[in-house]
Amino acid sequence: MAANRRRISRSSPRTDAKLMTILSIDGGGIRGIVPATILTFLEQELQKLDGPQARIADYFDVIAGTSTGGIVAAMLTTPAQNGRPIPAHKITKFYFEEGPKIFSNEARLATQQTEGWRKREPDQGFFSNLLSNIATAGAQIMSSLRAPEYDGLHLRRKVKEIVGDTLLADTLTNVVIPAYDMQNLRPIIFSTQQAKHNMSDVRLENVVISTSSTPYYFPLSKFAADGNQHFLVDGGIAANNPTLLGIREAAKILQRENASGFSQPDYSNFLVLSLGTGSAKKQPDGHQIGSGGLLDWLFSFEQGLSPLFDVMFRASDDMVDIYTSLIMGNYNSQQKYLRIQDYEMKAHEVKTDDASPVNLMRLEEIGKDLLNRPVSMAHPDTGLPDAQDFSTKNRDVLTR
């Protein structure tokens, strides 16, 4: 990939014969350390070829990221004090240092104090006090159920430190980051090229916080920009794997830069690297959902995760693989579409908010291990990942 990309001149007008390079990074909370580890390796290999100043953003026309992937995309493309993005290894460091603070007990929203309940008086008697305590406890439980798990304040502070007042239009390469619009109940796709075209005043900080505002975990993201008031939540609701959004954005770039006589891009000239954050290992007998009631679907006591959400996200990711293979063509997708994903994670490893030191180190090891696994290419019939039976490893493909 590196060698191919180095032969492309960014200043040359693009046509449908030019190679378009796309990086896609999934959502997954603290599991973002997995793609960050892979990107650290890739950048180090690029630096061996092009020098210590080489950065991931120099080699990709489009970087798409959802939720935690949006954070990574922003860190890869935000100009630092010297006008260059931070090295990829500092993104891994970010997860190790800031993850425990973002998902800490201190960051949990304290149960709101209940008001209006009858105050307990010393002489009310045992049963009156008991009823009062039950009512207060019930109100506190209801209050906690209505509040997100974490306040998100540390996350916002760190994102602000990293991206500052950078506008979406000013990233060092094109980014595309989805969120979900709770007012209009539709996906909203933020992109650098669209922001430039519209002379948008949307700040990258607000885009990153919006795509990371996971329901239940973090508060809704609210901000005003371009004359509109936005109420947004996690982009993973619409596109946890944003590969297709990256392909769509690359096609739009070609269309905009080659408007005269341009019809359809040649997808055989698209080179796509898609990085997952891990998925739970398939159960031998599938998900055991008991009688199929609400509790059975929302939580598996044996596996420790939600069958409903695990199935939904896995199905969504599989559909992205199928559509990508369809768009690019089976042969092209086998040659120029690399999806690196771990489908063998244990239930406790797929938690999005387990930022314990042990789990962080485990996730980093999973990322390193993925580099040594056989390449997984799209099956020509199904479009789904199919591990090849030859010895090529992900790390070998990344450095070709």
- Give the CATH number for residue 302: 3.40.1090.10
The encoded tokens of residue 374 equal 């056989």
Tally of structural domains, the chain:
1
Count of Cβ atoms closer than 10 Å to residue 75 Cβ: 25
Residues paired with residue 345 on neighbouring β-strands, in sequence order? 280
Residues paired with residue 108 on neighbouring β-strands, in sequence order? 150
Q: Which is the catalytic residue, given 26, 234, 310, 317?
A: 234
Separation CA 276–CA 253 (nearest Å): 25
Q: Is residue 2 part of a domain?
A: no
Residue 316 and residue 241 in contact, taking contact as beta carbons nearer than 8 Å? yes
pLDDT of residue 116: 41
Separation CA 400–CA 398 (nearest Å): 6
Q: Is residue 338 part of a domain?
A: yes
pLDDT of residue 300: 63
Q: Decide: helix, strand or coil at residue 6.
A: helix
Q: Is residue 263 part of a domain?
A: yes
Distances (CA, A) of 81 to 78, 87, 164, 400: 10, 13, 11, 32
The residues, any chain, with a CB within 8 Å of residue 22's CB and separated by 6 or more, are 60, 61, 62, 63, 64, 243, 246, 247, 249, 250, 270, 271, 272, 273
Q: Is residue 305 part of a domain?
A: yes
Residue 376 is among the residues annotated as catalytic for this protein: no
DSSP category for residue 393: B
pLDDT digits (tens, 9 = 90+) for 100-118: 999 988 767 543 443 444 4
Largest CA distance in the chain: 87
Q: Which is the catalytic residue, given 67, 210, 300, 333?
A: 67
The residues, any chain, with a CB within 8 Å of residue 164's CB and separated by 6 or more, are 78, 205
Per the structure, the complete domain to which residue 243 belongs is given by 20-103+151-282+292-399
Residue numbers of the chain with a pLDDT score lower than 50? 2-16, 110-120, 389-390
The encoded tokens of residue 113 equal 């104090």
pLDDT of residue 115: 40
pLDDT of residue 376: 75
Separation CA 8–CA 5 (nearest Å): 6
Predicted structure pTM score: 0.86
Q: Is residue 136 part of a domain?
A: no
pLDDT digits (tens, 9 = 90+) for 127-148: 566 666 666 555 555 555 556 8
Residue 396 is among the residues annotated as catalytic for this protein: no
Distances (CA, A) of 101 to 107, 108, 210: 7, 10, 19
Q: Is residue 215 part of a domain?
A: yes
Spatial CA neighbour of 208 closest among 248, 163, 265 = 163
Separation CA 241–CA 113 (nearest Å): 39
Q: Is residue 114 part of a domain?
A: no
Q: Is residue 142 part of a domain?
A: no
